[in-house]
Amino acid sequence: MEKRIILNSRHFEITLKRLASQLKENHHLFENTVLIGLQPRGIHVLSRLKKILEHDLKKELTCGQLDITFYRDDFRRREQPIIPSVTNIDFIIENKNVVLIDDVLFSGRTIRSGLDALLAFGRPKKVELLVFIDRHFERHLPIQPDYTGKIVDTLSSQRVSVEWKETEGEDKVVLFTQENKNE
């Protein structure tokens, strides 16, 4: 397995700050906006953006965590069922601007399930999508992000992993490539 760092910790921080600035540009004081991170990995992006934004705006933002396990379209197509994570949305999103946040956008299926799952909490005024990494050649559904940290060109056999200093010890994005034995 070949391993290549495509975003180091310095660029990682710059990217997060840029995403925060873009959010501020569109949502000003976040009066009618809520941020929702998708479980399990999108919540890390959310918590870092929340920290930056709350520091800049000097106010607390409304944030939630959404688990989409029961809304997936691949139930019974997998070997094993996925164990759900916690959903933590203690507010109603009726008429709110929602920013859905995830770490890697790949097929778009997770986001589709996320949109379904969101409906259980009300009818939002508008939903936007923020992703840290966009693997833009791999989409299965017509879903595009509104805010992107970094676009990467990848093959479907490759794997992208976003690592966080809180959980993995260092901020970085790594691209894994399966070595082809025939070559």
Structure tokens at 179: 């070595």
Nearest distance from residue 46's CB to other proteins, in Å? Answer: 18
Nearest distance from residue 1's CB to other proteins, in Å? Answer: 24
Q: Which is nearer to other proteins, 81 or 170 (CB)?
A: 81
Chain residues that interact with other proteins, rule: CB under 8 A: 67, 69-72, 75-78, 80-87, 92, 116, 119-122
Q: Which is nearer to other proteins, 13 or 116 (CB)?
A: 116
Compute the distance between CA of residue 119 and CA of residue 121 in angstroms, rounded to an integer.
5
Amino acid identity, position 156: S
Nearest distance from residue 161's CB to other proteins, in Å? Answer: 21
Compute the distance between CA of residue 109 and CA of residue 21 in angstroms, rounded to an integer.
27
Nearest distance from residue 65's CB to other proteins, in Å? Answer: 11
Q: How far is CA 78 from CA 72, 113, 172, in A?
A: 11, 16, 29
Contact 171, 2 (CB under 8 A): no
Nearest distance from residue 87's CB to other proteins, in Å? Answer: 6
Q: Which is nearer to other proteins, 114 or 149 (CB)?
A: 114
Q: Which is nearer to other proteins, 85 or 161 (CB)?
A: 85
Q: Which is nearer to other proteins, 38 or 133 (CB)?
A: 38
Structure tokens at 172: 């970085």
At 91, phi and psi to the nearest 5? -145, 165
Among 140, 94, 142, residue whose Cα is nearest residue 121: 94
Compute the distance between CA of residue 3 and CA of residue 178 in angstroms, rounded to an integer.
9
